[in-house]
Amino acid sequence: MTATYRQPGVVLTDRRFTVPLDHDDPAGETIELYAREVVAGDRAQQNLPWLVYLQGGPGFGANRFVGRPAWLGRALKEYRVLLLDQRGTGHSTPANRQTLPLRGGPAEQADYLARFRAHSIVRDCEAIRPAVTGGAPWTVLGQSFGGFCTVNYLSTAPEGLSAAVITGGLPSLDAHADDVYRAAYPRIERKVTAHYARYPQDVERARRIADHLLSHEVVLPNGYRLTAEAFQSLGIVLGGGEGSHRLHFLLEHAFVRTAQGMALSDAFQEEVQGLLSYAGHPLYALVHEAIYGQDGRPTAWSAERIRAEFPQFDAAKALAGDGPLLFTGETIHPWMFDCDPALRPLRETAELLAARTDWAPLYDPARLAANEVPAAAAIYHDDMYVDTAHSLRTARSVRGLRTWVTDEFEHDGVRAGGPRVLDRLLSLARDEV
């Protein structure tokens, strides 16, 4: 049953769709997709063009907005918006430690998850588009990994698009995961250095916390084993506009004096477990490196292997000297499947995905070179999550794609910038500026 309800200034409708698990086997097993339709309250009865939003990740459901914040207010001036929970996320058929055992053992689970990459998400979009738009093409807004999906859309089904708008999500068309992470670690180091320049008192605070974790076994209230490496991975927040400030406020209340001596405070542990747990988005950890798989090479825990080329990220070595502890960023490591109770049962499945060698290419350079879909992309200068050089190289490979390169925002510019980012990109795509 379709449910329609209201929030301030908007009318929302819950929509559900059934799609094939494997679009090459349309008569086979199916999964369910959930999406939330949003329209301005004063335009609810109008026949409007559609914009479908593809969230970043992989593994995150679409934003749960209240009212018309961030980019949504700009979109609702002219579009009816579909906030899609990509397969396996949000209210779509879930894929997590509780549900994946229904598939069978780790091998069956890995085969299932291999169908959760960009090409399957795009085919989902094309499967549901006729029911949503009546067959008319729609505009896609792809944020981060959603941008990766959008480039796949332009490669495989451009006839479904009236325009494509990408924010912080132009992928390399041919880089292996090793290339991605080899470019990422120096960017991460620059972000950490900038954080310490802003908050120099955090140098000693971070060293003290890491030293404590190297000599104490700390288990967070949710069962997460907080190691020094896990603590370093909090650096992922530095990719957002407010990330440096969030990290600073977290570090400043790390310790409390107890009857047994100094210990990590409950408040600190509670906030850390919320930042580190993958309970709400396990697909992010399971298929993150797989989004870069395009040839016969396995990803083989690329972020972990490439990190060894950057010994300055080793916590023990940093503490043995007088240098700062370096945080890490958007990287997935095998130890996460030991530390996080939401991931532990899926360790063998993750190993099989890391060893997989049958990843198909995700992008079609020839088709992109002949692109006719109006398209625009925001490229954030020194984006911590997506390499700027890779994005610019891809931008030059997509015919007609207009770019806006800016250092005004970090990776979350489409949210932090309110309506401005989407407004500018739509203007670029339409050749209005």
Listing DSSP states for 36-93 in one string gives EEEEEGGGTTS---EEEEE-STTT-PPP--SSS-TTHHHHTTT-EEEEEE-TBSTTSS
Asked if residue 148 and residue 239 are part of one domain, the reply reads no
pLDDT higher than 70, residue 1 = no
How many domains does the chain contain in total? Answer: 2
What 3-state class would DSSP assign to 414?
Answer: helix
pLDDT of residue 433: 87
Q: In what helix (H) or strand (E) does residue 6 lie, and over which residues does it extend?
A: strand 4-7
Which residue range is the domain that position 298 belongs to? Answer: 177-355
Asked if residue 36 and residue 142 are part of one domain, the reply reads yes
Mean pLDDT score, 357-386: 97
Which of 325, 355, 385 terminates a domain? The answer is 355
Asked if residue 183 and residue 167 are part of one domain, the reply reads no
Asked if residue 45 and residue 91 are part of one domain, the reply reads yes
Which tens digit of pLDDT belongs to each residue from 6-42?
999 999 999 999 999 999 999 999 999 999 999 999 9
Angstrom distance (rounded) from CA 351 to CA 349: 5
Which tens digit of pLDDT belongs to each residue from 195-205?
999 999 999 99
Which tens digit of pLDDT belongs to each residue from 162-177?
999 999 999 999 999 9
Residues catalogued as catalytic = 144, 358, 411
Which tens digit of pLDDT belongs to each residue from 39-66?
999 999 999 999 999 999 999 999 999 9
Asked if residue 272 and residue 133 are part of one domain, the reply reads no
SS3 content of the chain, % helix, strand, coil (to 5): 45, 20, 40
Report the CATH number at residue 145. 3.40.50.1820
pLDDT of residue 2: 78
pLDDT of residue 277: 98
pLDDT higher than 90, residue 244 = yes
Asked if residue 396 and residue 411 are part of one domain, the reply reads yes
Which of 321, 355, 389 terminates a domain? The answer is 355
pLDDT of residue 89: 98
Asked if residue 133 and residue 10 are part of one domain, the reply reads yes
Asked if residue 97 and residue 77 are part of one domain, the reply reads yes
Asked if residue 91 and residue 20 are part of one domain, the reply reads yes
Asked if residue 198 and residue 98 are part of one domain, the reply reads no
Asked if residue 241 and residue 221 are part of one domain, the reply reads yes
Which tens digit of pLDDT belongs to each residue from 344-356?
999 999 999 999 9
Chain mean pLDDT for the chain: 97
Which of 306, 331, 355 terminates a domain? The answer is 355
Asked if residue 237 and residue 155 are part of one domain, the reply reads no
With contact defined as beta carbons under 8 Å apart, do 15 and 2 qualify? yes
Angstrom distance (rounded) from CA 70 to CA 416: 7
Which tens digit of pLDDT belongs to each residue from 262-297?
999 999 999 999 999 999 999 999 999 999 999 989
